[in-house]
Amino acid sequence: MNPAARLLLENKSWVQEKQALDPGYFQRFSMSQRPEFLWIGCSDSRIPPNEITVTSAGELFIHRNIANLIVEDDLNVLSVLQYAVLVLQVPHVIVCGHLGCGGVRAAMTRETSGPLDQWLDNIRGVADRNAAELGALTDENLRWDRLVELNVLAQVEKLARTPVIQTAWARGASPRLHGWVYRLDDGVLRELVTVERPSTAEPPQP
């Protein structure tokens, strides 16, 4: 059987299994969604967001790209953010990076070309701004790990400055921003930073 046909077949048995266990399962999800989290993660196939957080359909609104980047003129991530935060009103936005990220590695080694190379320039900017700290790490793998963390921190900072988050905070909504790192070799998620709505972001007075 060809690999794509296998997926379609697996889907059929999954549907039957779900319906057998819970006849209303699909009906419940067909009308609306109310996810509590926007997940912005890396496209890496080894990090299935629902699986590693033990969440079900309907709980995570998901955006993934190479190296979990928030790029100010990327309409894709910005529209996902707009819809999740201003329409669905998710109370939590998670940026999740991971150790062993090939995108971060490629940004360090400069072995890419084309659109991917342009995309990774965003990480090179993070590396340049933290050149002193990274340069002090003599072990290349430690430098890689640290750049993964610095990248997550930089993306959370960028997220906080986006018009969507600023608008939500100004309207009195309090989406909380989280920066997490996932370890491929043990499956553990670690929290790096949480950013709350600043007290200066008062809603407009009536």
Residues with a known catalytic role? 42, 44, 46, 98, 101
User: Of the two residues 60 and 101, which places its CB atom closer to Co ion in the complex?
Assistant: 101
- Number of Cβ within 10 Å of residue 103's Cβ equals 24
Angle between helices 163-170 and 140-161 (to 10 degrees): 50
d(CA 113, CA 117) in angstroms, rounded, equals: 5
CB closer to Co ion, 148 vs 168: 148
Q: Does residue 44 touch Co ion according to CB under 5 A?
A: yes
**How many chain residues are in contact with Co ion, going by CB under 5 A?**
4
- The structure tokens listed for 145 are 């790990």
Q: Is 106 in the site for Co ion (CB under 5 A)?
A: no
- Residue of 38, 94, 96, 101 that binds Co ion (CB under 5 A): 101
Q: Which of 37, 39, 40, 42 binds Co ion (CB under 5 A)?
A: 42
Closer CB to Co ion, 49 or 103, in the complex:
103
How far is CA 177 from each of CA 31, 37, 121, 165, 189, rounded to the nearest angstrom?
Answer: 28, 10, 24, 9, 15
Residues contributing to the site for Co ion (CB under 5 A): 42, 44, 101, 103
